[in-house]
Copies of this chain bind each other. A is one copy, B any other.
Amino acid sequence: MRTHAENAELALLLEVAGTPKPGNVDRHRDHDDLRFEHFLAGAVGSARGLRLAEEGPVGEAFETAIEGMSEQEGGNTQFGCLLLLVPLVRAAARGGLSPAGVTEVVEATTVADAAGFYRAFEHVDVAVSDPPEELDALDVRRGSDAVPTLEARGLSLHDIMELSADRDDNGREWVRGFPRTFTAAAWILDDEGPAPDRAARAFLRLLAERPDTFVAIQRDRATAERASERAQAALDGDIAVEELADEFVAAGINPGTTADITAAALFVALERGLAV
């Protein structure tokens, strides 16, 4: 039987293999400087951190996973995926892979976990939004320079996620019991056919349901909303998904948060018996 860490690594691989996932690198599409093999190497490299997540502190496991993920030339491949996967692996290892179980894990995070999260930003460039002015000292791009502020204010990693939850749906997953992760896992388990195909369909439903916060950060809110309308049009059969994929690539729309949640959902589905 695969371990929890192995299921998480496989979830990363199945996510990138699923096609078409409009706007993202997948089995059939590369971006210019970010290619399929960078995601393969990112998944392999993150495995060390995922194994740590079975046993110990979320922040250290996350930083280790990001350090390993970064050992390839594509840059940020799976930062957001791992932010969701690490507490889910921890919850699974503790026997509580449920909204309540993962909430226990994230609520137990400490200032040290927050410091690990900040240090992870020193391993790779991640596209983030500017924080509100009063939170400037906590800008994640400060990396470990922000640690004294975290310590002075006694902020846990859960506190940090809470601060970003209104503009980053990965933060929102963290502080609300991973609602979309568990919902999409149920879709994947109820679906039929090969796991990567199920992942691609879950991705499209997630995108249609809620604007992608990575698109909103990289571009703007209106573009993110329009992308979700187009995903709904694809679900309604008004545009072929393959055509939408070409449209998003041409427009530079990359729904990264939706891919993160898809990977997290694949992990939950694998843990609950999704066969590969």
- The segment from A8-16, A53-61, A93-101 found at the interface with B is A8-16
Q: Decide if B41 touches A194 in the complex (CB within 8 Å).
A: no
**A38 and B276 in contact, given A45-B2, A45-B6, A47-B47 (Cβ under 8 angstroms):** yes
One digit per residue, 1 when the CB lies within 8 angstroms of any chain B CB and 0 when it does not, for chain A 9-32 equals 110011001000000000110000
Can you name 19 extra interface pairs (CB under 8 A) apart from A17-B37, A37-B194?
A: A2-B41, A2-B45, A2-B71, A6-B44, A6-B45, A10-B40, A13-B13, A17-B36, A17-B40, A27-B27, A27-B36, A35-B194, A36-B196, A37-B196, A37-B276, A38-B276, A40-B276, A41-B276, A72-B276
**Inter-chain contacts of A194 with B (CB < 8 A):** 35, 37
Closest 10 CB pairs of A and B: A13-B40, A41-B276, A10-B44, A6-B44, A9-B44, A72-B276, A37-B276, A37-B196, A10-B41, A37-B195
Q: List 28 A-B contacts (CB under 8 A).
A: A1-B71, A2-B41, A2-B44, A2-B45, A2-B68, A2-B71, A6-B45, A9-B44, A10-B40, A10-B41, A10-B44, A13-B37, A13-B43, A13-B44, A14-B40, A17-B37, A27-B27, A27-B36, A28-B28, A36-B196, A37-B194, A37-B276, A38-B276, A40-B276, A41-B276, A47-B47, A72-B276, A73-B275
Using a CB-CB cutoff of 8 Å, which residues 182-196 of chain A contact chain B? Answer: 194-196
Bound-state Cα–Cα, A40 to B16, Å = 11
> Closest residue of chain B to A270, judged by CB?
B41
**A residues neighboring B (CB under 8 Å):** 1-2, 6, 9-10, 13-14, 17, 27-28, 35-38, 40-41, 43-45, 47, 68, 71-73, 194-196, 275-276
